[in-house]
Amino acid sequence: MTDDESGRRRRRPEPYTAEALAVDPAASSVDADVPHAVDPAGIGDGDVLVLRALGLGDALTGIAPMRGLRRLFPGHRLILAAPGPVGAWLADLGVVDGVLPTPGLVDLPPLAGGHVAVDLHGRGPASQRLLAATRPSRLIAFSCPEVGHHGPAWCADEHEVRRWCRLVSDAGGPCGPADLLLRFHRPAPAGAPVVLHPGAAFGSRRWPVDRWRAVAEHLTGRGRRVLVTGSAAERDLTGAISDGLDGVRDLGGALGLSALTDAVGGAALVISGDTGTAHLATALAVRSVLLFGPTPPSRWGPVVDPHLHTVLWHGDPDAAAWGDPHGETLDERLAAVTVAEVVAAAGAQLPPSDDAASTPAPSPFPFPFPEG
């Protein structure tokens, strides 16, 4: 929440929406030097343009349906309209062929037309109107009466990965949750660190800093190295957890997406809230302990390798509603997660240190693209 001119509290807009971009004009700027950026004027017949102009977690949950699109349109160029860094990273991994830098729900530049447009951003109408304006030959999207598009029905009570796989499978591109994996599980090498990712875009999904520090102290007290990751805006948070603790390295603001991928990929365990780094651990098949709060894991939790991922959540799965993932107040379900629970879950996931001594280090990136 933020204060308006009258001093009343108002809700911060959901990220990547037109409202959020209007509040923060800098967020709508597009970097002119995005790797793998394509010339919009050249997007046309033979191309598949996918709109998912969201963050890291959304990009990772979108990998599976994008692989379905590969199967549906073999030989076509797959272009992702997304924020530049996320899109370029997915192109580096071979998930897409190019990126149309798009900071959120903004008008897309003029295209040649005749392409296939795929709405993996939302149910519409805003996202579908943006795509329809590019003059595609075909639109793959959920039904949206406001736009006049007929497709599969949107189901609110559905996991994010399964939802978009259903859409693409209905269009003729078979895919499922296993397609989100960037690699299969590899035992961690000797001395691999534990990654703690304490941050989140909104306060409702941020576990208290003193509890994170207690977890770090517990891990280092048992001989584990700890890396604390976060964005440049989260340096105060990562510093508060790591300062003065031997064996803890503060990486707040130090890692881009590729370096974060390397850090997570080489970890023995990732402990994170419900945020992009949690989805990265799932995609890399790295063991994790995940702390959920306002959003139930049935909507956004891991859908593969349940033996690798321990989800801690104190919500009622049968409730009519849960908390606000875009709120600024710590969600009561997340607040109920204790340090004792987290360290117990971490201990159950971590092998004894000496058991990892003979395990070879994992292979470097990039990951091979799974066969269809």
Residue 246 CA to residue 345 CA, distance in Å, equals 23
- Please state, in angstroms and as integers, the Cα–Cα distance from residue 108 to each residue in 8, 133, 159, following that order: 35, 8, 28
**What is the CB neighbour count within 10 angstroms for residue 2?**
10
Same fold, 18-178 and 194-354: yes
Going by C-beta distance under 8 Å and a sequence separation of 6 or more, which residues neighbour residue 329?
1, 203, 204
Least reliable range by pLDDT among 26-30, 226-230, 337-341: 26-30
Least reliable range by pLDDT among 31-40, 171-180, 328-337, 355-364: 355-364
- Please state, in angstroms and as integers, the Cα–Cα distance from residue 292 to each residue in 196, 251, 267, following that order: 15, 23, 21
Taking domain 194-354, whether its CATH number is 1.10.1660.10 is answered by: no
Going by C-beta distance under 8 Å and a sequence separation of 6 or more, which residues neighbour residue 188?
266, 267, 268, 269, 286, 287, 351, 356, 359
Q: What is the dihedral of CA 90, 96, 97, 102, to 10 degrees?
A: -70
Going by C-beta distance under 8 Å and a sequence separation of 6 or more, which residues neighbour residue 274?
200, 205, 290, 291, 292, 293, 295, 297, 300, 301, 325
What is the fold of 18-178?
A: Rossmann fold (3.40.50)
Say if residue 4's pLDDT is above 50.
no
- Which tokens hold the place of 224? 């584990």
Average model confidence (pLDDT) across the chain? 89
3-state secondary structure 109-167: CCCCECCEEEECCCCCCHHHHHHHCCCCCEEECCCECCCCECCCCCCCCCCHHHHHHHH
pTM recorded for the entire structure: 0.88
Residue 338 CA to residue 360 CA, distance in Å, equals 34
- Which tokens hold the place of 200? 């989140």
Least reliable range by pLDDT among 179-183, 208-212, 307-311, 353-357: 353-357
Say if residue 185's pLDDT is above 50.
yes
Nearest Cα residue to 175 out of 272, 71, 74: 71
- Which tokens hold the place of 357? 């001594």
Per-residue confidence band for 114, with pLDDT thresholds at 50, 70 and 90: very high
Mean pLDDT in residue range 151-180: 97
Give pLDDT tens digits for 19-46.
Answer: 655 555 554 455 668 999 999 999 999 9
Say if residue 355's pLDDT is above 50.
no
Domain boundaries, the chain: 18-178, 194-354
